[in-house]
A and B are shown apart, each in its own frame.
With several copies, the nearest count.
Chain A
Amino acid sequence: MSEEHDHHNAPPSEPAQRVKALEQLLVEKGLVNSQALDELIDTYERRIGPRNGARVIARAWTDPEYRKRLFENAAKAIEELGFPPGPQGEHMMVVENTPRTHNMVVCTLCSCYPWSVLGLPPVWYKSTAYRARAVSDPRGLLSEFGVDVGGKEIRVWDSSSEMRYLVMPERPAGSESLSEDELAELVTRDSMIGTGLPKSAARRARETNRAAK
């Protein structure tokens, strides 16, 4: 085998082992505290996730004053609902889908994502395939996701800076009678990334019925 091969591919040891040794070392160094790490993990596993973003969108759909504040200063309006900016959430902008425009978010250079409202990103968002194709083939990609945006212009937001983007989907037709809590159930994670659309009110009704049985 040639150097071309050896040079770059010395396999590192198993991550689980390396990480165990690393934490032990950093605790000894006083750089981390295992209990603090536990709490941080718990925060991102349980407290921060797409339900945060769904609440923001549902509030904006129902409260014109909130909606206005959200467009004026997204991070501040999000904090109003009890979701602190935290890392990857300090500089937020909400981009609105309209009958003429569909928005979609990617980070081609790494995997920037609005943690404060969506939690940590799914694997597909971080995948090479998504990062490669979102900017050059958004329509093909949306169709793989089962999303047809018709003749709308697509705007792909490539999060190259510290700005984080949250898509405000169009409020589904037929959702007029739903409460803010019920509306939040329509707002999927993917609809806030722009790779999905909100659930219809009818689908939510079916799912609620099924769960009740």
Chain B
Amino acid sequence: MNGVHDLGGMHGFGPVIREPNEPVFHSEWEQRVFAMALTAMGRRVWNVDEFRRAIECMPPARYLAATYYEKWLHALESLLLEKGAVTPEELLSGHAAAPAPAKGTGPLDGGGGDVESFDSSAVKLRFDKSFKPRFKPGDRVVARNLNPKHHTRLPRYARGKRGVIRYDQGVFIFPDTHAHGQGAKPQHVYTVAFEAKELWGADHKERASVYLDCWDNYLERAAVMPAARPAIKSAGRARMAKPAAKVRAAAGRAKKGRKR
């Protein structure tokens, strides 16, 4: 979804304003929204991808005007309705007309604090060797020009841009389908380095790069670079090689048997 939530590279949002000695929450209702949303997610009434999708579906002007927990509240209410856990009348009255349907609601232990993992982050899946990576660190790739109406985690600023695979982070659930009840489609996620010049144009002077996590489905192998696009300098590659190798060693241990 090309939504207003996709903010990377946008202008006009003013300076970043910081609050000295900021509290964790600014009001009681923020606390309650946070805890209710987390509990529902922990009990798998919905998954984290659905939650993000619900936030992104806020009307754009309201999304931009809302605070963080106003967005959570919107998602909480709209997902409870979507999942049939509550009715619009119940939301208004604050009273249950019927008990919640059993689907998707695990037992309540009352213990608090022990919210289960979000299911997108299943740890076992990440190191499952039956999912083969399509790319390896060092491979040159291009982010696909995707403009889906559905939820996606490929931001607009990266689409059509060339980068280099830095890390294979293992296997993760695919948000584009998982956010819509269309399956987990597990696949490798790679951290791809994009140079600032590639993202923002040849005039961009800053020595910077963006490291973006890309699901396998977001990427294609880069064709031979046309002359117009500057190749990533080998000096840059050499510089990055050391820390990459270091951290990769860890992944390597967990994922032994995979080919680089």
Contact = CB atoms under 8 A, between A and B. Distances in A.
- Given a CB threshold of 8 Å, the question of whether A touches B is answered with yes
Contact of A44 (B34, B61, B123): B34
B70 interface: yes
Contacts of A21: 91-94
Of B7, B28, B70, the most chain A CB neighbours within 10 A belong to B7
A64 to B, nearest CB: 13
Contact of B39 (A32, A120, A139): A32
Given A157-B211, A162-B172, A4 B250 contact: no
Contact of A8 (B14, B109, B196): B14
B151 to A, nearest CB: 10
Interface residues of B, number: 113
Interface residues of A, number: 94
B211 A45 contact: no
B111 interface: yes
A119 interface: yes
B142 interface: no
A150 to B, nearest CB: 11
A31 to B, nearest CB: 5
A25 B250 contact: no
Interface string B191-213: 10100100110000011111111
A77 to B, nearest CB: 10
Contacts of B246: 71
Nearest to B252: A72
Interface string B166-198: 010110100000000000000001010100100
B43 A31 contact: yes
Nearest to A3: B17
A101 B48 CA distance: 32
B157 A135 contact: yes
A156 B208 contact: yes
Contacts of B10: 128, 132
B59 A8 contact: yes
B62 A9 contact: yes
A4 B36 contact: no
A136 B93 CA distance: 41
B68 A4 contact: yes
A173 interface: no
Contacts of A41: 25, 31-32, 34-35
Contacts of A71: 246-247, 249-250
Interface of A: 1-5, 7-9, 12, 15-16, 18-26, 28-33, 35-45, 49, 71-73, 85-88, 90-91, 93-96, 98, 100-101, 106, 108-111, 119-120, 122-124, 126-139, 141, 144-145, 151-163
